[in-house]
Structure 1
Amino acid sequence: MSRIRTVAVVALATSAALAVPTVAQASPLNPYETVSMPLSAAIEDLDIADESRDGYRRSAFPHWIDADRDGCNTRKEVLAEEALGDVSMSECDVTNGLWFSYYDSQTFTDPSKLDIDHMVPLAEAWDSGASGWTLEDRRAYANDLGDSRSLVAVSARSNRSKADQDPATWMPPSAEAHCQYVAEWVAVKTRWDLAVDPAERDALTELAGGCEDVIITVTRA
């Protein structure tokens, strides 16, 4: 029931690998379509829009739910999946294991010390387009187990430091995490067709410039 968290970030080996489909080549957007593109191209393809927090409430994104009705809610599913090695469980309660919080390069054995972070916070998603979604779509977003980048087990301290900030104002304290974080942020925004504001776009572009050639592969929600 455990696995090492897979990050869909792959180094480009040759210039020929740059000849991959882009969002622009795959228009209009189709749900469940899988696209691959360089990180820089993915950032350029994100819509730019001013953000609005009007009407936001956290309850607009119901979580944590038990979508498959196996008795384990989304938080417990993520803890079990992201554990490095075996976990101890009491029914669906994860009681002991080993987790690596890549935001701050810390290792934990006590799941109570971990938060499940929405890579793109709920409030940020609302600001970036989710305010126009149905309740069912927001529930699916808040409990997205279809892409391992959407939800991540990290230290409670780092998650609460991040709060609802985007990369223009917050990045993981571990510098080694920055390229992975930017790629995962962009992947989630691409998966859910969420926009970026101008400051966020500038920050992502600058940060991606410090990463070696990277492609992201995303299946649209």
Structure 2
Amino acid sequence: MKTLLQVSLANHHAKANFQKKNIEYQYFMLYKLVKNSSIFGKIFQNLEAKWIVLFLLAIGLKAHAQMEELKQLANAFYQANADKYDRKLYNLASRDHGKIRETAPVSTFEMLLTRKDKNPETGKRCRIYLTIYYYSDPDECRSAAEVWFKKFIRNSSIKPNRKSKITDPEAQYYILFNREYILIMDMPCYEWEKEEWNTVKKSLLKVFEESQSKALEIDCGTGTVIWSLNSF
């Protein structure tokens, strides 16, 4: 019998394929409109200009399709935890992610999961923030990560695969580095619950982990940076 996560992932792939075909059709119609317009008709007589426009359309198509796929994966992650968490996608509080926003990601996706029931000891509902920074290609993604490491969370700097410490982190962080995007999951320290964190992290990896994924975790108690999965 398939699990809820397996069903959700299967639905994700079906939706992603449908959306990709729909996007391809939209870009084809846009191409025809531009080509046949009186203004751009003369431009398309120039073969070089034609290929430039087609190249730009292809880049836009790829970025849009990839971001839609990442949104579907994020939805699959939410569905795996929907029995315990509510979801919010808009008007979210800014997270302390250092200077990563200055590395010019093509797109950014944010999601907040809030526990439905309160912790009986603290009286709080734990919150989990998910942020995805998507880049145009693997080289851009890796370069962005290397720049980010120099101006990392809490203005710290780290080096790949080496022991480091973050000064007074405000949250427990789990950061996943994939081919074309960087995913950050964090939970505020004053709401952090070890068992809950490990459960959610496990479901995150089931959805987002790839064969060459790299990861690091920041312990909110000590600030220790722990590398895992593949070497960066």
TM-score when normalising by structure 2: 0.27
Larger Rg: 2
Which of the pair is proportionally richer in helix? 2
Which of 1 and 2 has higher RCO (CA within 8 Å, sep 6+)? 1
Which of the pair is proportionally richer in strand? 2
TM-score when normalising by structure 1: 0.28
